[in-house]
Chains A and B, each alone.
Chain A
């Protein structure tokens, strides 16, 4: 990724070798699994418990004026991204467009979604523009607008999976993907596609299923104890938003993209990838491509391979779970348990981009004062410099291990709860989860190995 990114400094004096943390994490998962089997005999997360915030606060946060203000802020920020991307300096770390999109939006909104619910839905500029356009069109025509087309069921969340893959390809594959101008042009192109999708299938339907970032942040927001329901913000049991995830085609693909692309981002720093990528690039050079395009295609192969690997690994666990009986098809099981991958995706994002948010996040304070990078100082913070020493390398490692373990334990809880609801026999439910445990141990080991590669 851009800028300081990951692996900011080398860890030293850890009490045990890094790989032993992987073994300890695996042990934590096994112990958690046994504890769940003994102490969690009934499904607890399947019922949607929710109560509104007291004193009318919930109604205020979900009110129309707040919605309009949030939407206007989203549209304004989107406008600043486009303007600074096209008119500002061509230096990613000095331009608001790259910093905002890759740090504040892509990474920073994830913890906000987990803490405060579906924040992006309120600030989504495409949704705000789409709803405003529909309102104006309705007023102008003085009659009901024609009904949108019915959203094809088999399309499910596939457009979102493709959109997320395209965005990460821009970030990780395209050599100039972090350049402000590329970010602005990509945002405009994506906006055009989003408006077409909303015009065809309706604003809300496209936002729920087709718009990549809405689907991405909504999945993370389902971990949150905060949920907006029937025009009111309220509280629910943490994690309980995930079991009610609508089982739609393409959901496994979305999660495979979410985990696989972070996997590739980490793996691309590993000596293993440095060893094989020149060979793949040379294959593309031999068919007549320029060295830069050949390397980009090599990275595209790597990115695709990582997504397919994650999808195949999940499929392996599902086939294993199917082998214990119960009469469920593999695709039914894959859909039923896919929500348990969301905390894993969160663990990957949190652990992998922790340093990006902690260090590059500080740069946002000076780019907001000088969004174009041309010497302005709107809020008096343009001269600030990031403090790169406020958290040590070992502390970062402990945080990262903590994120990985917590995410995978949460995934185990979700899968265990769903198995209890799905299988009639509790013993069969636990046996099916041996395979999910194998998946969790696998993803944990992979996550810690990827993090270790940043300093390899």
Chain B
């Protein structure tokens, strides 16, 4: 039973490391879409 929990903890830690990248890329995409819409409007 401890093995899946250990795996889950490891996966969560890995996700935590890459969260800033995902957040930054998401912000970048949203900003770019907004700018495109603004330039069309």
Contact = CB atoms under 8 A, between A and B. Distances in A.
B28 A435 contact: yes
Sorting the interface of chain A by its residue count into under 10, 10 to 19, 20 to 34 or 35 or more gives 20 to 34
B17 A445 contact: yes
17 contacts: A18-B13, A19-B13, A19-B16, A20-B16, A22-B17, A22-B20, A23-B19, A271-B10, A441-B20, A442-B21, A445-B17, A445-B18, A445-B20, A445-B21, A448-B17, A449-B14, A452-B13
B8 interface: no
Interface residues of B, number: 14
Contact of B28 (A17, A438, A448): A438
A276 B10 CA distance: 16
Interface in B8-35: 10, 13-14, 16-21, 24-25, 28, 31-32
A271 B11 CA distance: 10
A99 interface: no
B7 to A, nearest CB: 8
A323 B32 contact: yes
B35 to A, nearest CB: 9
A438 B21 contact: yes
A313 B17 CA distance: 17
Contacts of A5: none
A19 B16 CA distance: 6
A61 interface: no
Interface of B is mostly: helix
Contact of A441 (B10, B14, B16, B21): B21
Best-buried of B13, B24, B25 by chain A (most CB within 10 Å): B24
Contacts of B10: 271, 456
A26 interface: yes
Contact of B24 (A18, A271, A438, A448): A438
A441 B10 CA distance: 21
B18 A449 contact: yes
Contacts of B17: 19, 22, 445, 448-449, 452
B32 A438 contact: no
Interface of A: 17-20, 22-23, 26, 271-272, 320, 323, 434-435, 437-438, 441-442, 445-446, 448-449, 452, 456
Interface of A is mostly: helix
Pick the 10 closest A-B CB pairs, nearest first: A26-B20, A19-B16, A449-B17, A442-B21, A22-B17, A19-B17, A445-B21, A445-B17, A441-B24, A445-B18
A237 to B, nearest CB: 30
A360 to B, nearest CB: 27
Nearest to A275: B7
A455 to B, nearest CB: 11
Contacts of A272: 14
Contacts of B16: 17, 19-20, 22
A27 B16 CA distance: 14
Contacts of A434: 28, 31
Contacts of A456: 10
Contacts of B24: 26, 437-438, 441
A23 B20 contact: yes
A320 B27 CA distance: 13
A271 B20 CA distance: 22
Contacts of B20: 22-23, 26, 441, 445
B23 to A, nearest CB: 9
A434 B21 CA distance: 12
Nearest to A270: B14
A399 B13 CA distance: 21
A19 B31 CA distance: 27
Contacts of A446: 18
A284 B24 CA distance: 39
Contacts of A442: 21
Contacts of B21: 26, 438, 441-442, 445
A434 B30 CA distance: 13
A446 B18 CA distance: 7
A442 to B, nearest CB: 5
A345 to B, nearest CB: 19
Contacts of A452: 13, 17
A217 B28 CA distance: 35
Contacts of A26: 20-21, 24
A334 B21 CA distance: 21
Contact of B25 (A17, A19, A438): A438
Best-buried of B17, B24, B25 by chain A (most CB within 10 Å): B17
A55 B30 CA distance: 58
